Structure 1
Amino acid sequence: MTSVLPPFIQAASGSLGAATANALTYPLDLITTRIQTADKSTSIRRQIYTHGLSSFYDGIGTDTGATLLSSFLYHYVYSFLRELVVRRNGKSKAAMLPISHELAIGYLSGIASRSISTPLNLVTVRLQTARGSDDSSADGGASQFMGVCRQIFREEGLLGFWKGFSSNFILSLNPAVTLYLFQLYRRVMLKGKERAAPPPAHSFVGGALANSVAVIMLYPLLLAKTVVQASRKANSSNNSSQHPSIRSSIQGIYTAGGFFALYRGLGAQLFKGVLRQGTAMMVKQRIEQLVVQAYLRQRALRRVQYKG
């Protein structure tokens, strides 16, 4: 990040960048989720024939809300904590902190943002996998959202909205690693003014590469989390397997398909991540550049008015 702008500006630009990228890549995100949950209706042709093109946007409203909220909180907490650490160490805002500090700040920011956005993420996964299930909640609109919320509450109570949250204690390393690697890319590949304000192409490539490395490192856990959140409580009773945990999901996937099954859907996830993270970083950097340019123009105008 290493931006000298106030936390609110960084958070706003980050959330707008993430929401833009989310809207552009959402159909691919939905397909990836269905591959990860071994949904038999993952065929694109079958999906279009059965439900129409609009079905590729099931849950986009909820997911966009989760993206805006999560990204805003992440970037705000990150920039706020980083500013405190920088001041304490007597460094400039643009300085790169030691890797342990960068990762710790990113990790704490990830936990904070995911603790708030997890319920919306859970509802999104349920909406994405509702087609082809016995769920009556696949009707559309606000009634669909409320139907899923009522179903989750009926099945597992209020805490059910944080189903799979335990995985976030490790998955929160993903944005931390991504952000650190993006900063490292800027330090190694760019010089001078470009390092402080990367061109759109470098923002895209740096963000995409950083996200790809982070996803590969943590993918089995990401897969297991999606499987857990997509699972629904059966009507018939007492089998504990009706409530899979992160650990049992990983074990079940490995037992059924071996090591490579733990990377089911990785290709789609990486492709989605390249487009999403690259676009998000590019839009974020561009918004921040526009804010800086607007501030400099305003300051120049004030100087002219003062002299006049």
Structure 2
Amino acid sequence: MTSVLPPFVQAASGSLGAASANALTYPLDLITTRIQATEKGTSIRKQIHTYGLSSFYDGIWADTGATLLSSFLYYYVYSFLREFVVRGNGKSKAAMLSLPQELAIGYAAGIASRSITTPLNLVTVRLQTARMSEDSSAQGEASRFTGVCQQILREEGLRGFWKGFSSNFILSLNPAVTLYLFQQYRRVMLKGKERAAPPPGHSFLGGALANSVAVIMLYPLLLAKTVVQASRISNSANNSSQYISIRSSLLGIYTAGGFFALYRGLGAQLFKGVLRQGTAMMVKQRIEQLVVQAYLKQRALRRVQYKG
């Protein structure tokens, strides 16, 4: 039930779909990150009054770059590995694989893409939360891409760019589960030609539902990762060498607010995910349909020219 187009086409359509969805939902993404990164949270009205409307696009270029790169790598590796497994099993490209096989392929693709894009994701989180810093000098430096990179290098060294990466060993299941559930949605809800080329409405709904289930399953870890990436190393002598780990972040959130604190900002995350993943899948499917239509028209034109 997956695309039979070459890996590069799937990767290009997936990355363009993700970038389009990212641009559409970016203010929601920034609000969600700020809610996750602080225990007290901050209202939308307060953010507009204090920082202005432009603050809702802090870090958008870094995030768009990370989204394009991450999505391209994910879909390329996924489609390449899937094609390899399908050929090894002697099946057609559109054949369904078993759940363990699909999840394993998606997981491997997720790890590969996140290992390369984690630094950009980290810089994005820092840009999104820079205005929340009580240190005015830090706000000025952290409001620029180069300033954030220099800050991370100075405080934490090169390894600081992969802060929170350990969570990816579990969070990489998110895109794998999302893509698998979307394929299952196509198989159960659609028939005939629509199953191979879902209408925009079904692409949006299927992508939104699949992403929501995956997010709910892994949300506490996603929250802890954001808290870790938003945190800065203290300049005090006692804390200068201490790093906040995913485990300690989860424990701290739970200790401070109990079980429900582990789902702080879930509503905003789900709302953002519905719009982002639904739009991404819809655009991806549409681009792939246009590629197929262009190929069929080109082939028909060559046949006419050949007969002529």
TM over 0.5: yes
2:232 maps to 232
1:65 maps to 65
- Structure 2: runs of 5+ lacking an equivalent: none
SS in 2 for 1:130: helix
- The 8 Å contact of residues 36 and 265 in structure 1, kept in 2 or not, is answered as yes
Identity of aligned residues (%): 86
Distance 1:62 1:135 in 2: 22
Q: Aligned pair count?
A: 307
**Equivalences for 1:1-308 in 2 at 5 Å?**
2-38=2-38, 40=40, 42-133=42-133, 134=135, 136=137, 138-139=139-140, 144-239=144-239, 242-308=242-308
SS in 2 for 1:8: helix
Residues 65 and 140 (structure 1 numbering): CA distance in 2 closer, same or farther, change over 3 Å? farther
Would you identify which runs of 4 or more consecutive aligned residues in structure 1 move more than 6 Å? none
Deviation at 1:235, TM superposition (A): 1.2
Deviation at 1:244, TM superposition (A): 1.1
Q: Deviations over 1:53-112 (max 9, x none)?
A: 110000000000000000000000000000000000011101110000000000000000
SS in 1 for 2:116: helix
Residues 28 and 58 (structure 1 numbering): CA distance in 2 closer, same or farther, change over 3 Å? same
- The 8 Å contact of residues 137 and 147 in structure 1, kept in 2 or not, is answered as no
What is the root-mean-square deviation in Å for CA atoms of aligned residues? Answer: 1.6
Distance 1:150 1:239 in 2: 20
- The 8 Å contact of residues 207 and 277 in structure 1, kept in 2 or not, is answered as yes
Give the AA of the match of 1:244.
I
- Structure 1: runs of 5+ lacking an equivalent: none
Question: TM-score, length-normalised on structure 2?
Answer: 0.97
Deviation at 1:50, TM superposition (A): 1.6
Deviation at 1:238, TM superposition (A): 2.1
Give the AA of the match of 1:183.
Q
Deviation at 1:161, TM superposition (A): 0.1
SS in 2 for 1:223: helix
Distance 1:87 1:220 in 2: 38
- The 8 Å contact of residues 233 and 241 in structure 2, kept in 1 or not, is answered as no
Distance 1:92 1:140 in 2: 54
Deviation at 1:255, TM superposition (A): 0.5
SS in 2 for 1:81: helix
SS in 2 for 1:131: helix
Residues 307 and 218 (structure 1 numbering): CA distance in 2 closer, same or farther, change over 3 Å? same
Deviates more, 1:110-119 or 1:47-56: 47-56
- The 8 Å contact of residues 7 and 79 in structure 2, kept in 1 or not, is answered as yes
Residues 57 and 97 (structure 1 numbering): CA distance in 2 closer, same or farther, change over 3 Å? same
SS in 1 for 2:253: helix
Deviation at 1:40, TM superposition (A): 5.0
Distance 2:140 2:76 in 1: 36
Give the AA of the match of 1:298.
Q
Deviates more, 1:232-241 or 1:124-133: 232-241
Distance 1:39 1:24 in 2: 27
Distance 2:136 2:111 in 1: 31
Distance 1:136 1:28 in 2: 27
- The 8 Å contact of residues 41 and 132 in structure 1, kept in 2 or not, is answered as no
